[in-house]
């Protein structure tokens, strides 16, 4: 059977090192000769992404439902690109995905089930790695407080909802693995590689859909 690329999502709280680790993972996959594409959500370069960017920087205000739908629409803008890449044998890494969408909006008080709905049928990852870090350790890394949501109490409630999501999607068949992101960069990189390496040569079977 012809293999397709693996779809790997890296999630986590603010400052847990998602962008650092997604870049390192891309470099490791490329060094192993695996065609790889790295996508970051929100993708602030599109028209929708620019509305999100302005909201996050508190330059504009939007109803909670509206911003939730924009984050989801921003993923749908790239859904067919992700599918094409995977089908052509490219491994796709996403820096945040639909799980962030639910965690942040539900922690603002929107109904959990409502938050899941707009992402139904998006490509589902073959592996979701959740970078776990305490809000205290994240805060110590600096840079907190520059954008909306970057407050300790918000991060705490987001963390709780991420745990609910992890338990739920794991029971639905999506592989969700928690990685201790409080370690040194190299250690986290190694831990991530251990989980990704078995998928690096490609994955058999069709691309699955959210929510399985």
Nearest to Mg ion of 4, 18 (CB atom): 18
Residue of minimal CB distance from Mg ion?
A: 19
**90-109 positions binding ligand Z5A, by CB under 6 A:** 96, 100-101, 104
> Per CB under 6 A, does 135 bind ligand Z5A?
no
Nearest to Mg ion of 68, 96 (CB atom): 96
Nearest to ligand Z5A of 12, 159 (CB atom): 12
> Per CB under 6 A, does 19 bind ligand Z5A?
yes
> Per CB under 6 A, does 14 bind ligand Z5A?
yes
Of these partners, Mg ion, ligand Z5A, none, which one is at the site of residue 12 (CB under 5 to 8 Å by kind)? ligand Z5A
Are the CB atoms for 129 and 22 separated by under 8 Å?
A: no
> Per CB under 6 A, does 157 bind ligand Z5A?
no
Pick one of 43, 46, 56, 175: the residue that binds ligand Z5A (CB under 6 A): 56
| DSSP string computed for the chain | ---B--EEEEEESTTSSHHHHHHHHHHHHHHTT--EEEEESS-TTSHHHHHHHHHHTTSS---HHHHHHHHHHHHHHHHHHHHHHHHTT-EEEEES-HHHHHHHHHHTT--HHHHHGGGTTSBPPSEEEEEE--HHHHHHTS-TTSSTT-SHHHHHHHHHHHHHHHHHHHHTT--EEEEETTS-HHHHHHHHHHHHGGGTT-B-SPPPBS--
Stretch that binds ligand Z5A, among 15-23, 110-118, 166-174, 199-207 (CB under 6 A): 15-23
> Per CB under 6 A, does 128 bind ligand Z5A?
no
Nearest by Cα to 207 from 36, 87, 59? 87
As a whole number of angstroms, the distance between CA 168 and CA 19 comes to 25
| Binding pattern for the stretch 59-78 against ligand Z5A, x by CB under 6 A and - elsewhere | ------------x-------
For the record, the structure tokens of 140 come out as: 């110590």
Nearest to ligand Z5A of 20, 157 (CB atom): 20
Catalog residues that contact Mg ion under the rule CB under 5 A: 18-19
Footprint of ligand Z5A (CB under 6 A):
12, 14-20, 41-42, 56, 71, 96, 100-101, 104, 141, 149-150, 184-185, 188
């Amino acid at each position: 059977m012809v293999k397709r690329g693996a779809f790997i999502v890296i999630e986590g709280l603010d400052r847990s090192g998602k962008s650092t680790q997604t870049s390192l993972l891309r470099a490791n996959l490329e060094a192993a000769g695996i065609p790889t594409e790295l996508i970051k959500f929100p993708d602030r370069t599109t028209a929708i992404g620019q509305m999100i960017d302005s909201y996050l920087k508190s330059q504009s205000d939007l109803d909670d439902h509206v911003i939730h739908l924009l984050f989801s629409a921003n993923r749908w803008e790239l859904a067919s690109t992700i599918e094409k890449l995977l089908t052509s044998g490219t491994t796709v890494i996403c820096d945040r995905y639909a799980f962030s969408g639910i965690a942040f909006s539900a922690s603002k008080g929107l109904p959990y089930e409502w938050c899941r709905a707009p992402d139904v049928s998006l490509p589902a990852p073959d592996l979701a790695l959740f970078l776990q870090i305490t809000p205290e350790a994240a805060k110590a890394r600096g840079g907190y407080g520059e954008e909306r949501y970057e407050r300790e109490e918000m991060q705490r409630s987001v963390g709780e909802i991420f745990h609910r999501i992890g338990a739920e999607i794991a029971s639905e068949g999506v592989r969700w693995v928690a990685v201790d992101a409080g370690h040194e960069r190299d250690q986290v990189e190694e831990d991530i590689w251990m989980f990704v390496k078995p998928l690096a040569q490609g994955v058999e079977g069709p691309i699955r859909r959210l929510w399985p």
